[in-house]
Structure 1
Amino acid sequence: MGSVPAQKTMRAQQYDARDNKLHLNEVPLPSPRDHEILVKIACASLCHSDVMLFEPNDQGLILGKNPVTIGHEATGTVAATGAGEVASRFQEGDAVGFICAIECCFDCYACKNVHNAWCETGKVKMQGFGEDGYFAEYAVIDAREAMVLPESLDPKSSAPLFCAGVTAYHGIADCELRPGAWLAIIGCGGLGHMGIQYAKAMGYNVIGIDITEAAIEEAKNCGADHVFNSLADKEYQKKIIDLTGGGVHAAVNFTASKKSYDDCPAIVKPGEGLIMVVGIPRQPLQFNALDIALGRYRIKGSNNGTCYNMKPAIEFSAKHNIKPHMTAFKLEELPKMIELMNAHKVQGRLGVVFD
């Protein structure tokens, strides 16, 4: 059991619902409980759902503690461990990645097969939202949610794998397509640029769709076979139908745009096409019931992972050398990162790298 650092406080970027702003606060250094590890954060990256805290939304983001340290996507090194058996699997200095559900049982059907959000205890909280997250110098992590990084993954650059990576991997893998199938990735930014890499590694023909030239360029850099700017090219849907011989076998939507979901049915192959829901718009989605009833397309969802499906995604990333494209910032620059994301001026992922 490693010892808790001697310092008593640390810096953390905290969201305060009273003024809807971020504050760089000095807060107490947390101590791990028996089932937890204390992690010195090496890298914490920004996810679109972090930014949703500042927006009105009706999609179920629940803020508990206030103010709360934001961020749910990070990697680091173990600084100390709790006294319990699960925490004893880690040693001081281990490079680790982790995901953010806490206070759930990890053992019920929902925790093992669906998502911890539906744990039968009803007590689950998500770090970065209901409890303190990772834009801080240290964080306590439930040891059941953590894993030692493969040797090829650097904790100073691998944070995006532990939300964006796991989410993108399962968004593609859960389509369950045959190699050689046509797959459209809608939104080629923070999630999509990784989804393209996973899809190519799985042997699919990949079409990248976005509305900014920066994201289109990122899609090309990540190996997309074809790219379309759906805002600039009014014929893009027809071109995709012609290119694929009737439509894609799956359209994976990583965006928070309701319109992009509305446009999905037009590019999927009738009778074979799947619309994979990953990105979460502010407004509820609408699909035509007759289309679904008559089998024009299917709808499926994929989430940001659990401790049970995290490891395959990370090991696949290491094996196929899939890397997040990340621009590094300092902790005090987190407001600038949020501004860039809101302005759609982001290529890849934005992350805070700690010394």
Structure 2
Amino acid sequence: MLVCTGYAAESPSAPLAPYSFTRRAPGQQDVEIEILYCGVCHSDLHFARNEWGFTAYPAVPGHEIVGRVKSVGAGVSKHKVGDLVGVGCMVDSCRTCPSCQEGLEQYCDGGLAGQTYGGVEKQTGEPSKGGYAERIVVDESFVLRIPENLNPAAAAPLLCAGITLYSPLRHWGAGPGRKVGIIGLGGLGHMGVKLARAMGAHTVVFTTSPGKVADARRLGADDVIISKDPEHMAQHAESFDLIIDTVSASHDLAPYFGTLKREATLVQVGAPDKPLPFNVFPLLMKRRNFAGSLIGGIKETQEMLDFCGQHNITADVEMIPIQAINEAYERMLKSDVKYRFCIDMASLKA
């Protein structure tokens, strides 16, 4: 076993604090990664505070991991010592169900077992622990190549925020001649703007805050709609081919449905902790669709990383030491970050 230092929550109400634990020793197909950077996702906070109801304590969050390969098992062929690599939301799956066979491991019939944190390691039977730590051991099939031209710290959020937006944009055909809306300009939303624009779509941001208009345009938005202004929303009625909703708080979806074309789709990727209320009639009247999407499979995540490398796309990050993680959680709840916190894991040595 490998002794590892990290940060963990001991209970739903406890702040994250230094924590020593063990990782499994690398097996034949395993890659040991020295973690350089770890993005901070809103899901980390939900998990640390047991807001989804499945957290096992002590809980080590973190699933936007970038690091260097430190060692590899004898059977590893995809990665070598010194490679810049990433680990996202999954470190395993059943690999045999129809979804896994299609490269859609995020929809594995085994459910949440293969999560980077909050799952259960097949090799040890222990709860999996995430990337707020000095190192991690992962099966090579779930380790991704990070393009060397990208800033590794700013690339870390691509492993969750990036693929969460890339997958639905690709699946529902964002591209030239298509009008795509992004609801919310936060950690997820700002990635949606960058990716949709790079795909060639006419990209529009929906925001409740007039103060975000300039930043939305800086990030690449062709237009910005103040969603709490009914007249502004009416100007865009029945004009969108695709809308992706990144908001993780309860909100009314009906006004957004009205901006979709007939048979167009609104995709939910934000994960509110309470059910979303909405009126179905705007869907019925124009045969519109309301869908959901969850990250992406390993093949698609690598495709996304390569796309970002080609277009020089990374997240806008604010670097923090691990000792500031609890303050970062409180600021994240207030949307006081542009647009993703990233932990410099070298700070663990302090």
Q: Which of the five TM-score ranges fits, normalised by the shorter chain?
A: 0.7 to 0.9
- Assess if the C-alpha contact under 8 Å between 1:112 and 1:308 holds in 2: no
Q: Which residue of 2 aligns with 1:174?
A: 171
CA distance in 1, matches of 2:175, 2:23: 49
SS at match of 1:92: coil
CA distance in 1, matches of 2:46, 2:254: 21
Q: Which residue of 2 aligns with 1:218?
A: 215
CA distance in 2, matches of 1:263, 1:218: 23
Q: Which residue of 1 aligns with 2:41?
A: 47
Q: Which residue of 2 aligns with 1:157?
A: 154
CA distance in 1, matches of 2:184, 2:175: 22
SS at match of 2:137: strand
> Superposition pairs for residues 58-97 of structure 1, below 5 Å?
62-63=54-55, 65-83=56-74, 85=75, 87-97=76-86
Gap change, CA 1:292 and 1:166, over 3 Å in 2 = same
Measured against aligned partners, the alpha-carbon deviations of 1:283-341 in whole angstroms (never above 9, x if no partner) come to 22345555545543112222211212111111111111112111101111111211111
2:100 is equivalent to residue 111 of structure 1 = yes
Gap change, CA 1:346 and 1:234, over 3 Å in 2 = farther
2:228 is equivalent to residue 236 of structure 1 = no
Gap change, CA 1:22 and 1:199, over 3 Å in 2 = same
Q: Which residue of 1 aligns with 2:20?
A: 26
Q: Which of 200, 204, 207 is the equivalent residue of 1:203?
A: 200
Give, as a single letter, the amino acid of the residue that structure 1 aligns with 2:178.
A
SS at match of 1:263: helix
Gap change, CA 1:91 and 1:195, over 3 Å in 2 = same
Give, as a single letter, the amino acid of the residue that structure 2 aligns with 1:176.
G
CA distance in 1, matches of 2:167, 2:319: 26
Count of aligned residue pairs for this structure pair:
338
- Assess if the C-alpha contact under 8 Å between 1:185 and 1:195 holds in 2: yes
Q: Which residue of 2 aligns with 1:183?
A: 180
CA distance in 2, matches of 1:337, 1:39: 25
SS at match of 2:299: coil
SS at match of 1:77: strand
2:273 is equivalent to residue 282 of structure 1 = yes
**Structure 1: runs of 5 or more not aligned:** none
CA distance in 1, matches of 2:96, 2:148: 29
SS at match of 2:258: helix
CA distance in 2, matches of 1:290, 1:261: 11
CA distance in 2, matches of 1:199, 1:350: 22
Gap change, CA 1:268 and 1:140, over 3 Å in 2 = same
CA distance in 1, matches of 2:153, 2:103: 30
Q: Which residue of 1 aligns with 2:240?
A: 248
2:7 is equivalent to residue 13 of structure 1 = yes
CA distance in 2, matches of 1:32, 1:219: 44
Give, as a single letter, the amino acid of the residue that structure 2 aligns with 1:171.
P
- Assess if the C-alpha contact under 8 Å between 1:116 and 1:124 holds in 2: no
SS at match of 1:133: coil
> Superposition pairs for residues 285-300 of structure 1, below 5 Å?
285-289=276-280, 291-293=282-284, 295-300=286-291
Identity of aligned residues (%): 26
- Assess if the C-alpha contact under 8 Å between 2:225 and 2:233 holds in 1: no
Measured against aligned partners, the alpha-carbon deviations of 1:246-292 in whole angstroms (never above 9, x if no partner) come to 321111101113315343212212x1321111111112234555554
Gap change, CA 1:303 and 1:30, over 3 Å in 2 = same
Give, as a single letter, the amino acid of the residue that structure 2 aligns with 1:36.
D
Gap change, CA 1:44 and 1:208, over 3 Å in 2 = same
Give, as a single letter, the amino acid of the residue that structure 2 aligns with 1:52.
H
Give, as a single letter, the amino acid of the residue that structure 1 aligns with 2:83.
D
Q: Structure 1 residue 30: deviation in Å?
A: 4.7
Give, as a single letter, the amino acid of the residue that structure 2 aligns with 1:259.
H
CA distance in 2, matches of 1:213, 1:129: 38
> Superposition pairs for residues 268-279 of structure 1, below 5 Å?
268-269=260-261, 271-279=262-270
Q: Structure 1 residue 29: deviation in Å?
A: 5.5
- Assess if the C-alpha contact under 8 Å between 2:29 and 2:73 holds in 1: yes
Gap change, CA 1:35 and 1:295, over 3 Å in 2 = farther
**Structure 2: runs of 5 or more not aligned:** 120-127
